[in-house]
Chain A
Amino acid sequence: MTSRRALVADVAVLVFLALYAVPFLWQVLTSFKPEAELLRVPPLWPTTLTLSHYEVVFTQSAMPRALLNSLGVGVLTTALACALGVPAAFALATLRVPAAGPLMLGVVASTAFPQIATVSPLYLVMRALGLRDTWAALVLADASFALPFVIWLMTRFMREIPRELSEAAALDGAGRWRTLLSVHLPLTAPGLASVALLTFLFAWNEFLFAFTFTATEASRTVPVALALFPGVFEVPWGDIAAASILASIPPVLIVVGLQRWLVRGLLAGALTE
C-alpha cells in the first residue's frame, strides 16, 4: 500500500517535471523547425528538421558578436570582482579591519540595491568617462553588484578556516599575502569556484545595464541582442528560438556540468546557521 502510494507520488513528480521542461524544449524544437511549419500547430512534430535558423543567426544577425561580447564582459567582470573581492574578504575574515561592522553591513545592503536606482548615476559616470558602448562600461557596471556578492560569500567561507592555520603559517615566516595564497585560497577554492560561476552567470544574464550602456554591436551583449532581435515584416520566431538557445548555452553548461558547485554557492547564503 505504502509502496504503491510512493510510486504514484514518484510518477506525479516526474510528470510535473516533464511539463516544467516544456517551455525550454518547445523552443529547442522550434529552432529546428522549417519556416513554413512554424505557425502550423498542430502537428507538434515537424515533417523535417532544419539548421536554417541557426545559419541565419550566425550569418545575418548580431548574435555572433554579442556572444563574444557577453563572454568577454562575463569573464572580465568575474576576474575583476574576484581580484578585488578576495583580498577584502581575507582581511574581513582574519584581520582587524577598521569599521569592519559598518563595512560588512554596507556590503550586504548593497547586494539588495535595485539596479533601476543606480542606473541613472552610472549612466552619467559612463558618459563623463566616455565609456558608453564599450566593454569597460559593462564590466564596471556589473562589478557594482558582483563585487559585494563576492566579498559577502568569500568572507563567510574564509571565516570557517581555523585561526590556528594562519597562525601556523605566520610562525613559518609567511607574510599575509603568502598566507592568503597558500592557506586560504586553496582551502576556499571550491567556494571561490561557485562564487565565480554565479558571478559569471549574473553578468551573462544582466540586461538593464547592458541595455542602457550599449549602443551598437560593438558592445551589445546576448540578452540585448535577443531583446532587439530584428523582424522586418514579421517576427522571425524560428530565428529568435535559435538565438535563445545559443544564449542559453553557458547557463546549460554550468547547470549540467557544474551543478554541485553551483548549488553550494547558492546555498551558502541560506544554510549557514
Chain B
Amino acid sequence: MTARERAERRAAIGFVAPAVVTLAALTAGPALWVFWLSLRQRVPVFGIDHFAGIAHYAFLATDPRFWSAFRVTAVFTVASVALELLLGLGLALALRGQRVGRRAALALLLLAWALPGVVTARLFEWLYHPAAGLVNVALGVALNWLGDPALALPALVLADVWRTMPFVALFCYARLLTIPAAVYEAAAVDGAGRAATFRFVTLPLLAPVLLVTLLFRTLDALRAFDLMFVLTGGGPAGLTETLTVYAYRSLFQTLRLGFGSAIGVIVFVLVMAVAAAYLSVLRRREAAA
C-alpha cells in the first residue's frame, strides 16, 4: 500500500467513523442485544434478571395468544399488501391517461401517505363510529365496525390500505412515465390490443418497481404498530392483536422485557426472511436477464 493509499484510507475512516460508531451503538448493538435479551428472564420492577435459555420461545410455541397474533399479522400483511398493490397499480395506470387534476391527485395521495399513523387511526376511528360515523351513514347501516369480531380486522386493513396504497400508486406511476411512447407505438403497429399491451409491454417493464414496492410494503406491514395500537388496541377480544402489539404489551405493560424481546426477535426474523427471499428473487432475475 502506497503512502497515498494509506492517507486515503485514514481520511475515509475519519469520514465514516462518527456514523459507524453511532450506528453500532444505536442500531446494530440493540439489534444483536435483543437476541441475548430474549434468552433472559428480565422483569426490572421486581429486580429479576437471570438466564432463561429458550424458555420464552418454548412457551411461545404452544401459546395460543402468540399463534393468534401470528395469524392476525399474516392476514393483515397479505390482505393489505395485495389490496394496495392491485389498487395502486390500477390507479397509476388510470392516472397516466388523466388529463385534468394530476398534480392535485398526487398531492392528495402523498398527503394520505404522509400523515402520522396515529392521525390515520383517529380519522378512521371517527369514520367507524357506531352512531355518528360517516361509514354507517353512507351505507345506511348501524354496524359496530371496530367492536364486531368479524369486521374489526377488515376495518383495520381498510385504514392501512387508505394510508399506504398511495405509496404503490406513486412508484408505479413514476415508472410508467419513463416508458417511452415509442414502445407503445411499436406494440400498436404489431397489432397488440389493450390487454396484450398491458400483459407483454407494461407489466414486464413495471415488474422491477412492483417487486421493490412489494418488498417495502410487506416489511412495513409486518412491522406496523401505531395504526392497530391506537385504532383497535388489538381488540375486540384480541382479534386484531398483531405480533408487534403483543410484543409491546409484554414489554411495557406487563414489563417482561425478556419475554417481550423474544416476540420482537420473531418479528425481526420474519422481516429479515422476507428481505432475503426478495434478494434471492432479484438475483435470479438478474441472472436470467
Point out residues on A near B: beta carbons under 8 Å.
6, 9-10, 12-14, 16-17, 20-24, 26-27, 30, 38-42, 44, 84-85, 87-88, 90-92, 95-98, 103, 106-107, 109-110, 112-125, 127, 140-141, 143-145, 147-148, 151, 176, 201, 204-205, 207-208, 212, 222-224, 226-227, 237, 240-241, 244, 247-248, 251-252, 254-256, 259, 262-263, 266-267, 269-271, 273
Contacts and interface: CB of A to CB of B under 8 A. Distances in A.
B110 A262 contact: yes
A87 B22 CA distance: 13
Contacts of A212: 252
A237 B101 CA distance: 32
B209 A103 contact: no
Instruction: Output the residue of B16, B98, B209 with the most chain A CB within 10 A.
Output: B16
A92 B126 contact: no
Interface string B156-178: 00000010000100110011001
A144 to B, nearest CB: 4
Contacts of A248: 115-116, 119
Given A114-B222, A114-B244, 7 more contacts: A90-B15, A103-B20, A112-B272, A116-B244, A119-B251, A223-B117, A227-B118
Interface string B218-244: 010011011001100000000000011
9 interchain residue pairs of minimum CB distance: A91-B15, A121-B30, A88-B19, A207-B226, A95-B12, A144-B26, A117-B268, A251-B114, A205-B116
B118 A121 contact: no
B112 A20 contact: yes
A127 B167 CA distance: 36
A117 B174 contact: no
Would you call the interface of chain A mostly helix, strand, loop, or mixed?
helix
Would you call the interface of chain B mostly helix, strand, loop, or mixed?
helix
A24 B225 contact: no
Interface residues on B, range: 35 or more
Given A13-B95, A95-B12, A125 B30 contact: yes
Interface of B: 5, 8-9, 11-13, 15-16, 18-20, 22-23, 26-31, 33-34, 37, 44, 91, 94-95, 97-101, 103-112, 114-119, 121-124, 126-127, 129, 131-132, 134, 137, 162, 167, 170-171, 174-175, 178, 208-209, 212-213, 216, 219, 222-223, 225-226, 229-230, 243-244, 247-248, 251-252, 257, 260-261, 263-265, 267-268, 271-272, 275
